[in-house]
Amino acid sequence: MELTRTELFESIWSEPMGAVAARYGLSGNGLAKICDRLDIPRPPRSHWTRNASTREPRPELPPAPIGLSETFALGARHVRKSPGTRTRMSAEERQDHLMDMASRIALSDGLSAVTIREVARIAGISETQVHNCFGGRTELLLAMARREIATQESLRRKRIARGTNHRTRVMLSTIGYLHEAARRGPMLQMLLRTPEVRDALKPERITQSDKARAPILDELVGHGKMDLQNARASTAALTAVSLKAGGIVASKRAPFAMVEEICLNIIMAGVVSDESLAAGAD
């Protein structure tokens, strides 16, 4: 039966996977594998057991992976690639594709389900081909974490570039970070809770953190009367507040709007206090 990726995407986000799979003579796992191979985002396992108000929002459908067309033959055994559409991925494209597949597995079944064998199976390639891109599971997880961090840092830089003064830049950075934490945070949170990933990234994250704080310290110390030790302590405290809030929204432990309001109030009060101290106000 001929289907488009869009048609299948609409179906699995409109009713449970089991119902859709049964309609096409497939098992739920079989349909999930097809969705993953076609890079079709699917609801997490708990999606249909939640109240409608707490369900994950439906994401955008990304373009078809290189080598697959938008139309495919859906059967009980496999997805057939359309003739003449295959192209060879570059090494970078292959790595990105495999990380996308691994992220999908992690968000659906947990990080423990991400193995070289499972990623290879979902991607429809051999384990050797996956090993050619990543030396092993740890290298794959590290690459995924670095990609998430790089994406968030790039967005942070773009946001603060729109600010015309220190307060505006801090506000834009905080708001943007919280929104990104809500959208992409669950993946990064899972990765950073993995000891081998956390330990390997620790030196890099310290360097990145110091680099991000440097302009703020210059603002407080270079143009005012606050000493470096106090400036560092204050900046570290406000950063901790922001990170804590990001963790809360990523894990959905409290309503986003409430967390955002509380976090912004604390951060901006701290910024105003720092500016007063730097200016030598009583």
Same domain membership, residue 270 and residue 176: yes
pLDDT at res. 155:
81
Q: How far is CA 168 from CA 39, 83, 256, in A?
A: 38, 53, 21
pLDDT, residue 223, reads: 63
User: Residue 90 has what pLDDT?
Assistant: 80
Within its chain, how far is the Cα of 106 from the centroid?
A: 11
Q: Is residue 142 part of a domain?
A: no
Q: Are residues 93 and 81 in the same domain?
A: no
User: Is there a domain that residue 143 lies in?
Assistant: no
Q: In terms of domains, do 207 and 113 share one?
A: no
Residue with tokens 């009583």: 282
| Range(s) of the domain holding residue 21 | 1-87
2 lies in the same domain as 101: no
Q: CA–CA separation, 41 vs 246, rounded Å? A: 24
Closest CA to 235 of 245, 247, 246, 227: 227
According to the model, what pLDDT value does residue 225 have?
A: 66
Report CA dihedral (136, 142, 148, 152) to the nearest 10 degrees.
-160
* Tokens 């969705």 -> residue: 35
Query: In this structure, is residue 227 part of a structural domain?
Result: yes
Please report whether residue 224 resides in a domain: yes
For residue 27 the two structure tokens come to 């098992």
Considering the domain architecture, whether residues 217 and 125 belong to the same structural domain is answered as no
Digit-by-digit pLDDT tens for the chain (282 residues) are 678 889 999 999 998 888 888 888 888 888 888 888 888 998 887 788 788 777 888 888 888 877 677 877 765 444 444 444 445 678 888 899 899 889 888 888 888 899 999 998 888 888 899 999 998 999 999 999 999 888 887 887 887 778 778 788 889 889 888 888 888 778 888 898 899 999 999 998 888 888 877 877 887 787 666 788 888 898 889 889 998 998 898 888 899 999 999 999 999 999 888 888 777 655
Domain total of the chain: 3
Q: Pick from 135, 141, 174, 131: which is nearest to 155 by CA?
A: 174
Evaluate whether residue 140 is within a structural domain.
Answer: no
Q: Quote the tokens at residue 120.
A: 């290879």
pLDDT at 268: 93
Write down the pLDDT at residue 78. 44
Q: What is the DSSP letter of 15?
A: S
Pair (153, 274) in one structural domain: yes
Cα 272 to Cα 266: distance, rounded to the nearest angstrom: 10
CATH number for the domain spanning 117: value is 1.10.10.60
DSSP letter for each residue of 203-232: HHHHHHHHHHHHHHHIIIIITSS--HHHHH
Quick one: 15 and 82 in the same domain? Answer: yes
End position of a domain, from candidates 135, 164, 196: 135
Residue 141 lies in a domain: no
Identify whether residues 260 and 155 lie together within a single domain. yes
Q: What is the pLDDT, as a whole number, of residue 85?
A: 46
pTM score: 0.60
From the list 273, 275, 241, 276, the residue with the least C-alpha distance to 260 is: 241
Instruction: Look at residues 62, 87, 112 and tell me which one is the last residue of a structural domain.
Output: 87
Q: Can you give the pLDDT at residue 188?
A: 84
